[in-house]
Chains A and B, each alone.
Chain A
């Protein structure tokens, strides 16, 4: 089931919760492995595609053909996430995107449905 594993990630997964270093002000996402001393900071959820690729053969539990991207968030960090609500042919480097919450995977009849962030084209730009 791995309940606790997914529960621990609820901040970053659902709210894109990043952390800010109390002294340097550096914003970090994903949060460092032990970020107890850092302050939580909310990210805007907006960013720009730095690269993208399609997953031909997906790992077990995922769907073939999904689009992965490296996204530079407005606050600076680069994250790896799926793009959604568009076709591969419509993606370009430089595309403005925003975070949405979607189903990442279904762990089966006895498991969890794992939700988390994906990114879609920025609606105000469409």
Chain B
């Protein structure tokens, strides 16, 4: 297997892009990522979770390749719910590592604001078990709320314990020009906010938004041609678990996250404690908590305490959501894994501006589909 590198990145802000279609957003991100790379793109993987249901467009590989003037290349959509972005990045990594291609583009794109909340909730719920969860009225948010309630019961936390996650995310987003919510919030505001899916609070809940992010994955030769610090994809893994909560042997353990993180760490030959900066699925504090625990960053039942102690702050031992995360950068659903790759590449290259984590060498990205049924994990390492 050949080494692979992220050699170009681009993104649009996440938010309400009334004037831009799904393809418009995708092309903006793709062109921005291709900017510095002179050689032609040989394949295109489009990460998207809701295209068919919300944007009314499937076969996004052909749609985007054609719109971007890339007709003739291999192009297809990769769908794994909220893990689509990480899944597509992994396909690009495999395509370059295998020798099939030298330069591959990954575009994560989501367009959600063309529909009202009800149809969007229904589309998001497609990542749950269709017959035994979604058909009974479960939504993605309510599913995480079930896990938060259980977590609070088992480990003895109040619902206020999850506030440090959105507070941290908003603090970081305030200085990210591409963020959806560029303002700080206090723990008290989180607690006073309405419960949108009790026990989950409004201000501990990401808002699905429109957005696109893109990366170019290429060989070492191409990365060296471009010069400067290189971002190597040192670990890449995807694991699938059970979509249905009831069929899991342990409700509070994200088995797919555990397995994919372990494999990605093994490939990269690093341990969780070596990670300098990380991005997770953090739509709610409970999601970040379960991910931190399953991925080896925290003991079971301790993640909210670590967050309260400041470990996830930009100057802490585990800087999380340094550009705002899903909560405040915005949650472009199937594009999440690509946004993570863009932001962590900037961190590793020292290009994160006011949000820079000092001397970041090793980064960790993980995105989840459904209620953790799919987990895609990447470890990125800076090379000089």
Contact with B along A36-74 (1 / 0, CB 8 A): 000000000000001111111111111100101110000
**Which residues of chain A come closer than 8 Å to B195, judged between CB atoms?**
54, 56
Asked if B153 is an interface residue, CB under 8 A from chain A, the answer is yes
Looking at chain B's contact residues, the main secondary structure is helix
Interface stretch of the complex, out of B31-39, B126-134, B327-335: B126-134
Given contacts A30-B132, A60-B119, A51 and B146 within 8 Å (CB-CB) = yes
Q: Is the CB of B131 within 8 A of A66?
A: no
CA distance A93 to B197 in the complex (A): 17
Asked if B149 is an interface residue, CB under 8 A from chain A, the answer is yes
Q: How far is the CB of B138 from chain A (nearest CB, A)?
A: 5
Q: Is the CB of A66 within 8 A of B244?
A: no
Q: Is the CB of B198 within 8 A of A77?
A: no
Q: How far is the CB of A94 from chain B (nearest CB, A)?
A: 9
CA distance A62 to B132 in the complex (A): 15
CA distance A57 to B125 in the complex (A): 12
Q: Is the CB of B251 within 8 A of A80?
A: no
Q: Is the CB of A55 within 8 A of B139?
A: yes
Asked if B135 is an interface residue, CB under 8 A from chain A, the answer is yes
Q: Is the CB of A104 within 8 A of B136?
A: yes
Asked if B69 is an interface residue, CB under 8 A from chain A, the answer is no
- Interface size of A by CB at 8 A reads 34
Q: Is the CB of B150 within 8 A of A51?
A: yes
**Which residues of chain B come closer than 8 Å to A57, judged between CB atoms?**
117-118, 121, 139, 141, 196-197
Q: Is the CB of B133 within 8 A of A93?
A: no
A to B CB contacts below 8 Å, 18 in the list: A50-B251, A51-B146, A51-B147, A51-B150, A52-B149, A53-B146, A54-B145, A55-B137, A56-B142, A56-B197, A57-B118, A57-B139, A58-B118, A59-B124, A63-B137, A69-B146, A78-B245, A93-B150
Give me the interface of B with A, judged by CB distance under 8 Å. Answer: 117-119, 121-122, 124-125, 129, 131-139, 141-143, 145-150, 153, 195-200, 244-247, 251
